[in-house]
Structures are given as C-alpha cells and as structure tokens.
C-alpha cells in the first residue's frame, strides 16, 4: 500500500495538468502491447500498424522503446512534468531538448540497470552525444504521424475530466475528487491510499500539493513519487470510451436522432460545445444546432462561467436516457 498524507494546505496547492508528451509516451506503451488498450481498442487497432512501420524505419524510435521499462525506473527527461492544461507539444519538446547531456546519461544508465543490453544499434544512439535530440525526434515522429490527428478529441476528453474533477476537489474535498478515480485508490484518514504490490510506502505532501493528470491511454493509476517530478498521479480519464448504444439508446436515437442521442449520452458529464464537437467528430455549427434543440426541449441546460458555457442534462434528460 502506498499512503500519501495530505494537509489542508494541499487542496489549494494541488493542480491538474494535461501533457501531450506524457500521453504520447502512454500511447507508445499501448501500441507496443505493453499496456492494455482498454476503451481505446478501436483506435489502437487502427494505429498499431502505422506504429510498427514507424518503428521499423526509425532507429531513434527503437531506442526510445528500449527505455520503456515496466516495473522499473524510466528516464524522467523524456516526459517532463507539464505546467498546465493547455501546454503545447512543442513547448514540452523544447523542455526535453534543453536537458543537459550529463543528466540524460545518468537517467539512461539508471533506466538500463538490471535489464538485457539493447542492440548495438540502439546503444549507439543511447551512448551518443546527440541522444537527447534523437529521443525528442522519436517523440515528434510518433506525435506527428499517430497522435496529433486525434489530439483535439483526446484533449476534449481530458479537459472535461479536469473541469469536473477540479470542481469536485475545490467544492467537496479529496474524498469526492477521488471516489471514482480508480478501484485501487481511496481516501482514508486524511491520506490518499493506493494499492500496489510490494512493501508499504509512506509519503507526505507537506503543503506542496499534488499534480493530477488524466490520461486517455493509462489503464490504471500511475504514481510519480520521484524527486525529479512533483508528486503526481496519472489516472484514467472519464469518458474515454465512445457512447454505447444499447437497445434503449437506439430507441432514443430513433426518437430524437442519432447525433442528438449521442450528445445526450455524452452529457452525463458536463461539456462545452467545442468539447462535444471534438469528442463526437461533429462540426461546431452542427453541435450548436443540436444543443439548441435539446435545450429547447428541456433536456439540457447551459451554465456560463466567464466566456465558457457548459451543458448538462436536466432531470428530464436523465430520465430519457435511463433504461
């Protein structure tokens, strides 16, 4: 059991973030078969062959894959902690390429301790003077060819999770924010408890707060409790799976139309027009028209915060989608 003790100051100091680079690394774990695909199985099925082709053609990508160590230390510099929810991939890559060579060498050496030696081709890259640039280029290749086309949809899922969970943390505290994070994580006696195999581990936030990062690729909670990173939890984002049409929801689609039924199902969690458009691959105009119709029918309402309007189902909308 990992136990992270939390003080009252840690609520204010905690923050949420979204990292394109960390998500790219998690995608590599899934595409390589080292982590289960979970709700993204259809996407992984489409992306796996392009990934294999990229890996076959890129020794830099094979070198990056050699550092993906399950159950052990993974070099920190290739996945730096993000600064916010709208950090760009390019900004994170700039942070990676600024890594001093000595730091990169130390982390790579630690990463490879106790594992089989990679091929001579891979070791030539990992031991080379341009290793930081080479690994950054591998990340850029995967991002450009595989992740970026679907990033607007992924980001919409992540952003929506952040908005909902951050609101629950600020309003109701840790227990409410963590209650559905993952079956292996719980709030108990002023501490976050994470089930894991191994000896008990104890940590204290001491007012530093916790970095919380939703992921569309991570199948379980991953705790970052190293000195290089702020203490952080990566957790599966809500709403990653596409809406499932049951017999009841198919009847709903016949009643109000498939797109409006999909929107109504999605609004189990509040969302903006742009988030829904990205999530459901609809145009902004079409999404706005559907929202207007659902709102006029009394099935949803919108709540404005600043310039943002988030929609959620009314009790009538809930009743309509209930089996």
Same domain for 58 and 13 = no
Same domain for 166 and 132 = no
pLDDT, average across residues 287-308:
87
What backbone phi and psi angles, to 5 degrees, belong to 77? -65, -20
How many domains is the chain partitioned into structurally? 3
Same domain for 142 and 291 = no
Domain of residue 306, residue span: 247-321
What backbone phi and psi angles, to 5 degrees, belong to 128? -80, 160
Strand partners, 186: 193
pTM higher than the cut 0.85: no
100-118 residue pLDDT tens: 999 999 999 999 999 999 9
Same domain for 10 and 24 = no
> Is the model more confident about 170 or about 60?
60
Domain ends where: 121, 150, 179?
150
242 in any annotated domain: no
Domain ends where: 98, 116, 150?
150
Domain ends where: 195, 212, 236?
236
Q: What is the mean pLDDT of the chain?
A: 88
Same domain for 143 and 27 = yes
Alpha-helix residue ranges (DSSP H) falling in the chain: 9-13, 20-31, 41-57, 59-66, 89-97, 101-112, 120-126, 131-142, 151-172, 174-178, 247-256, 258-266, 273-280, 284-296, 315-321
Same domain for 232 and 145 = no
What backbone phi and psi angles, to 5 degrees, belong to 78? -80, -5
Same domain for 282 and 189 = no
């Amino acid at each position: 059991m990992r136990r992270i003790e939390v003080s009252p100051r840690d609520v204010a100091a905690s923050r949420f973030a979204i990292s394109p680079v960390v998500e790219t690394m998690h995608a590599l774990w899934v595409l390589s078969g080292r982590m289960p695909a979970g709700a993204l199985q259809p996407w992984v099925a489409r992306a796996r062959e392009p990934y294999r082709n990229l890996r076959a053609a890129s020794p830099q990508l094979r070198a990056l894959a050699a550092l993906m160590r399950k159950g052990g230390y993974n070099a920190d510099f290739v996945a730096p902690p993000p600064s916010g929810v709208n950090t760009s991939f390019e900004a994170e890559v700039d942070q990676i390429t600024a890594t001093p060579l000595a730091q990169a060498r130390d982390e790579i050496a630690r990463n490879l301790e106790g594992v089989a030696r990679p091929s001579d081709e891979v070791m030539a890259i990992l031991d080379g003077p341009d290793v930081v640039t080479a690994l950054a280029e591998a990340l850029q290749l995967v991002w450009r060819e595989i992740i970026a086309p679907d990033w607007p949809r992924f980001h919409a899922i992540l952003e929506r999770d952040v908005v909902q969970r951050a609101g629950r943390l600020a309003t109701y505290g840790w227990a409410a924010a963590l209650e559905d994070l993952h079956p292996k994580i719980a709030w108990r006696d002023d501490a976050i408890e994470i089930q894991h195999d191994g000896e008990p581990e104890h940590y204290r936030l001491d007012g530093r707060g916790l970095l919380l990062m939703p992921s569309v690729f991570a199948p379980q909670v991953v705790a970052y409790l190293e000195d290089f990173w702020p203490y952080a939890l990566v957790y599966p984002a809500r709403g990653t799976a596409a809406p499932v049409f049951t017999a009841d929801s198919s009847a709903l689609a016949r009643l109000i139309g498939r797109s409006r039924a999909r929107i109504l199902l999605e609004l189990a969690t509040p969302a903006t027009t742009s988030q829904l458009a990205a999530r459901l691959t609809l145009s902004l105009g079409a999404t706005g028209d559907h929202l207007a119709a659902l709102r006029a029918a009394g099935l949803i309402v919108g709540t404005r915060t600043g310039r943002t309007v988030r929609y959620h189902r009314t009790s009538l909308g809930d009743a309509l989608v209930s089996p």
